[in-house]
Structure 1
Amino acid sequence: MNENEIASVIVDASYKVHKTLGPGLLESAYETVLAYELQQRKLMVSRQQALPVVYESLVLDEGYRADLIVDKKVIVELKSVEKVIPVHKKQLLTYLRLSNMKLGLLINFGDNLIKDGITRVVNHL
């Protein structure tokens, strides 16, 4: 599957999780359930994967942690907040650049309607 096909499955799974659980839980609950749902759909999911930051000759082994990495192609950053702010999108774009991945999804389970809480962030896709 390519990045867009994977993203379509992630969005569909997010709708199911949000419809079942509703808004307002901790991000960790959504992370666990969404990872489970994606694995049920035969996708490979890594949770809280530490990724390095390389700056010149300096390597920080744990520069950041991605909430979910799906099929080694899409980063999913989860939030459960009243409102997503611009720094959340910038954070995801930085994760994409540092990992050389092309597509990320910022998913806010705090929105009443999950369709309003999903943002695609691309890095040269």
Structure 2
Amino acid sequence: MHPKYQRANELSKLAIGAGIEVHRDKGPGLIESIYEKCFAHELTLQGIRWDSQQPVRISYKDLTFEEPLRYDVLIESCLLIELKAVEKILPIHRAQLMSYMKLLDVPLGLIMNFNSVKLTDDIHRMLLPGSAD
């Protein structure tokens, strides 16, 4: 089991609650950046530590460099949230989240699509392989 999995799992419930609160207030149909700002503010109001788009160390063979990673919200270094406002979550959205989770060594990720009538119908949970074993 990943050492951060239990905490990430607990935080995922709070993150979903924060997303529902934002969606209840703003509804569907807005652009992603509006939801991201509101979601981050809701986390702050709840006393949850988060950051976004931080540099990450990338290693490839004998090359190591830092690159700003354009993830949406990382909660307490263990739960990665990708916020979308799209018609449909596509396989590339899942692949992007998984790539970010691997680079950041984050055991759990959520994709929340705010462009839905009911947010809970369009939340997708992803586990880093081996995280919950």
Contact 1:35 1:47 in 2 (8 A): no
Given residue 75 of structure 1, which amino acid in structure 2 is its aligned partner?
A: L
Distance across 2 between alignment mates of 1:60 and 1:26: 32
Q: How does 1:10-49 map to 2 (within 5 A)?
A: 10-49=15-54
Say if 1:50 and 1:66, in contact at 8 Å, map to a contact too: no
Alignment partner, residue 87 of structure 2: 82
Deviation at 1:63, TM superposition (A): 5.8
- Structure 2: give runs of 5+ residues left out of the alignment: 1-5
Aligned counterpart for 1:95 among listed residues 95, 100, 104 = 100
TM-score by length of 2: 0.88
Q: Is the 8 A contact 1:31 1:67 kept in 2?
A: yes
| Amino acid in the other structure paired with 2:110 | L
1:111 aligned partner = 116
One-letter amino acid of the counterpart of residue 17, structure 2: D
1:121 aligned to which of 118, 122, 126: 126
Equivalent in the alignment of 1:2: 7
The root-mean-square deviation of aligned C-alpha atoms, in Å, is 1.4
User: Matches of 1:111 and 1:44 in 2, distance apart?
Assistant: 27
Listed as ranges, the gaps of 5+ residues in structure 1 are none
The code of the aligned residue for 2:27 comes to G
Higher relative contact order (CA 8 A, sep 6+): 2
Deviations 1:25-83 (A, max 9, x none): 11111111100101111111102223232212222421632110001111111110011
Secondary structure, counterpart of 1:48 in structure 2? coil
Query: Residues of 2 paired with 1:30 and 1:49: CA distance?
Result: 19
- Say which structure is richer in strand: 1
Structure 1 stretches of 4+ with a deviation exceeding 6 A read none
Percent of residue pairs identical = 34
